[in-house]
Amino acid sequence: MEIVELPCEEHHQILDVHIAGSSYPPFVLSFKNLTYDVKVSTKSGFPFRWKKPNVSSGNTTKSLLRGISGEAKEGETMAILGASGSGKSTLIDALANRISKQSLKGSITLNGEVLDSDVLKVISAYVMQDDLLFPMLTVEETLMFSAEFRLPRSVSKSKKKARVQALIDQLGLRNAAKTVIGDEGHRGVSGGERRRVSIGIDIIHDPILLFLDEPTSGLDSTSAFMVVKVLQRIAESGSVVIMSIHQPSSRILGLIDLLIILSQGRTLYSGSPSNLPQFFSDFGHPIPNNENPSEFALDLIRELEGTSSGTQILFEFNKSWKASSMDDNGGDDTISNRRYTLPLKDAIAKSISRGKLVFGGNGANHSSSVPSFANPFYIELMVLSKRLLTNSRRMPAKFAVRLGTIIVTGIVLATMFWQLDDSPAGAQERLGCISISIATIFFNCITEVPTFIQERYIFMRETAYNAYRRSSYVLARSLTHIPLLFNLSVTLSLITFWTVGLAGGVPGFLFFFVTILASFWAGSSFAAFISGLIPDVFLAFVSGIAIVSYFLFLCGFLVARDRLPKYWLWFHYISLVKYPYEAILQNEFLDPTKCFVLGVQLFDQSALATLPAPVKSELLKSLGRVVGRNITSSTCLTTGKDILKQQGIVELSKWKCVWVTVAWGFFFRILFYLTLLFGSKNKRK
Ligand SMILES: Nc1ncnc2c1ncn2[C@@H]1O[C@H](COP(=O)(O)OP(=O)(O)OP(=O)(O)O)[C@@H](O)[C@H]1O
Ligand SMILES: [Mg+2]
């Protein structure tokens, strides 16, 4: 089916969430008998415990959801209420398709059809309990970036801006629009404002199904009321809004159409909040006047949970009460009104033509004529790069610290290895200086791990609902990084190359710089991969540092390759330090005019070093006679090539070493992409 390209005025309408008119056949989201059990290990929770298959001892099953049913239609807000741990977030996760199909029993349908997860991704949004936002962007910028991701190219920039402004007003963020989000280190917007920004970025495209986990947590009652009011308006504009909520005030209850009260994963009440007084009075516990019905209900449930029979009695009562009210009404109102709905495909198309989802006529269709991504790859790439650059430009301290460590390391190396000569000791020091410089680069790159991990959560939230492609992110991350790596490489090369007296003049310097840049590239890719693989900052950091140390141990500097134990050879070859180290060594030692051990220096590192020069000369002469060669004090005994041979550097040319380093960088970026692809499923097992 074709998506109709919208005329301009209609587009404008899209940009206002507040679209009245419910004459279209509504969407009906219904869920039946949702049941979700997890295995809980009763043994110690050490994360790397070896698990034998088919061993059930130590595992018990815990039911997080037990036969939950309900139905919400377009225009309605449904709230899930319950004490902490009652299963609210779990139910929201289940409805938002964030629990794997194998584990979740029961059915969830939209207009009677089981939802394809690709379609769900596009027509729904999920607002998490945590606010994961870029700290250094302002409220307005954050929303604008979201608009650029989620609204298609066919919506003009000015309309995107108008949509953002409308949203800022709707969310009551006008006064905070120009304030940065902030984090622990930077003052920013208030908690309530952050919450509303989080909601804003997920509803920018006006989704049909909106799930929110505790949208009001941490807010004062006025802000909470404002947030729910916004949600009610969104519902009225033609969405189904389902949220979990802790303790709604009476005013908030007044905005809600349907209520489900949970306790230990079971429904103790479901229906309109206005029926709560009747329900509890029929149960024999009338709600006293002036008491907040939701507080009363939760208190009563807590009391029941403390008794020996638990909440069973209320659970049973709810079932019979529902059945009797169905008889009174001549059938369940929810079912009778909603049985006849448009087929899903048509309903979505109709909704789109009315302005929902703000999708124009983007070619790529699938089953229900909704493209998976709002924008093509290159737009995503541009927007992502712009956002990353803006955010990092506003955190100069981070870059300054990295640059600072590189400058200090450079100065320490420069002074330690000041103007090395070509003596045997000098040659040895060159090896040390080069291997340590390269290892420093890799250690420096590991400091990127926390940033990567922090961003990863934002990335997961955004990609869960197809804000952009994972590949665009990986590419944008890599591209925006290159200028930074370039600066670090220039700094390190300039500080060390001339001061240490490395060989090769200007061409030598340029090659040195290129190798350093390649190492930064490989190191940064490696850090990205580690943070994709191990999403815990501490563990990732420690593992990263340890692995780089092993790279250094086995790169060939401490023990040459042919002297390494055979079983370590594989690690020698994957050591990222090995390749740039060998490249720079060749740059250093391939000059045939240089000599690193003259005849007179032969005894330098032995007990004979202190002998007078004439004696050494005599010794050399007799040595020459034995080997049948004329050896004088000035005969060259070890050339640079000999040193390379001793180090086992005979396999790859210097440029090949650079290319291998660059290739490692690409390889780890691809692995990083794969860790994001497979490691960020956003689903519970
Ligand atoms: N993977 C799991 N293994 C064991 N128990 C779990 C798991 N996930 C959740 N639970 C338990 O399931 C129950 C419901 O959790 P859920 O997060 O849905 O509660 P909630 O109602 O959202 O609570 P809150 O109001 O505190 O957010 C809790 O008791 C929680 O400890
Ligand atoms: Mg929760």
309-323 pLDDT tens trace = 888 999 999 999 988
- What digits encode the pLDDT tens for the residues 542-563? 999 999 999 999 998 888 888 8
Q: Which atom of ligand 1 is nearest to the CA of 246?
A: 25
User: Residue 535 C-alpha to ligand 2 middle, in angstroms?
Assistant: 22
Could you tell me the distance, in angstroms and rounded to a whole number, from the CA of residue 93 to the centre of ligand 2? 10
Q: In terms of Cα–Cα distance, which of 562, 529, 565 is closest to 547?
A: 529
Is residue 190 a contact partner of residue 104, using CB atoms and an 8 Å limit?
no
Please report the pLDDT score of residue 506 as a whole number.
96
More confident residue, 541 or 238: 541
* 78: phi then psi, degrees, rounded to nearest 5: -110, 135
DSSP, residue by residue, 593-637: T-EEEEGGGTTTTSGGGGS-HHHHHHHHHHHHHHHTS---TT-EE
Residues with CB under 6 A from ligand 1: 38, 40, 62, 64, 82, 84-90
Rounded to the nearest whole angstrom, what is the distance from the C-alpha of residue 318 to the centroid of ligand 2? 23
pLDDT of residue 57: 52
Position 369 scores a pLDDT of: 54
Helix (H, G, I), strand (E, B) or coil at 537: helix
Let me know: does 481 contact 586? Beta carbons within 8 Å: no
The alpha carbon of residue 104 and the mean position of all alpha carbons in its chain are separated, in whole angstroms, by 25
pLDDT at 331: 45
In sequence order, what are the residues at sequence separation of 6 or more whose Cβ sits closer than 8 angstroms to the Cβ of residue 304? 263, 310, 311, 313, 314
CA dist 133 to 103, 183, 516, 532, Å?
Answer: 31, 9, 33, 19
Residue 325: band (very low, low, confident or very high) from pLDDT cuts 50, 70, 90: confident
Return the pLDDT at 15.
39
> Which residue has the least CA distance to atom 22 on ligand 1?
89
Return the residue whose CA atom lies nearest to atom 29 of ligand 1.
85
Q: Is the confidence at residue 334, as pLDDT, over 80?
A: no
Give me the architecture of the 8-18+74-86+117-358 domain, per CATH.
3-Layer(aba) Sandwich (3.40)
Is 351 in contact with 357 (CB distance < 8 Å)? yes
- In this structure, which ligand is nearest to the CA of 63? 1
Mutation to probe ligand 1, out of 90, 95, 126, 263 (largest number of atoms < 8 A from CB): 90
Tell me the pLDDT tens digit for each residue of 411-435: 999 999 999 998 889 999 999 999 9
Predicted confidence (pLDDT) at residue 629 exceeds the cutoff of 90: no
E strand or H helix at 402, and its extent?
helix 396-416
Average pLDDT, the chain: 85
CB count in 10 Å sphere of residue 7: 8
List pLDDT tens digits, range 179-219: 999 887 788 888 888 888 988 988 888 888 999 998 888 78
Mean pLDDT over residues 344-373, rounded? Answer: 63
How much is the average pLDDT of 135-155? 89
Nearest listed ligand to the Cα of residue 685: 1
Report the nearest-CA residue for atom 31 of ligand 1.
85
pLDDT at res. 86: 93
Q: In what order do the strands lie in the sheet with 113-114?
A: 59-73, 28-41, 104-110, 113-114
**pLDDT attached to residue 117:** 81
The residue to which tokens 């909603």 are assigned: 338
Q: What is the 3-state secondary structure (H, E, C) of 359-397?
A: CCCCCCCCCCCCCCCCCCHHHHHHHHHHHHHHHHHCCHH
Annotate 28-47 with b (16+ C-beta within 10 A) or e (fewer): bbbbeebbbeeeeeeeeeee
Residue 587 CA to residue 656 CA, distance in Å, equals: 12
Query: What residues contact 446, with CB distance under 8 A and at least 6 apart?
Result: 523, 527, 530, 541, 544, 545, 548
CA of 21 to the centre of ligand 1 (A): 38
* 146-186 residue pLDDT tens: 998 888 888 889 989 998 998 898 888 899 999 999 887 78
Q: Best of 88, 100, 260, 684 to mutate for ligand 1, by most ligand atoms within 8 A of CB?
A: 88
Ranking 241-250, 630-639, 648-657 by mean pLDDT, the lowest is 630-639
| Token duo for residue 303 | 């009391």
356 pLDDT above the threshold of 50: yes
User: 165-179, 374-388, 596-610: lowest mean pLDDT where?
Assistant: 596-610
**Any idea where the domains of the chain sit in the sequence?**
8-18+74-86+117-358, 390-597+638-679
Structure confidence at residue 265 (pLDDT): 93
| Residues found in the chain | 685
Q: What is the pLDDT of residue 570?
A: 94
Q: How far is the CA of 89 from the centre of ligand 1 (A)?
A: 7
Residues 456-464, mean pLDDT to the nearest whole number = 85
pLDDT in tens, 89-113: 999 999 998 898 888 999 999 988 8
pLDDT top residue among 368 and 114: 114
- Give me the pLDDT at residue 17, please: 37
Lowest pLDDT segment from 18-32, 274-288, 409-423, 552-566? 18-32
Q: Which residue do the tokens 């590189």 mark?
A: 406
Which ligand is in closest contact with the Cα of 262?
1
Residue 265 alpha carbon, nearest atom of ligand 1: 14
Phi-psi region of 206 (alpha: psi -120 to 50; beta: other; left: phi over 0): left
- Report the pLDDT value the prediction gives residue 43, as an integer from 0 to 100: 57
Distance 212 CA to ligand 1 centre (A): 16
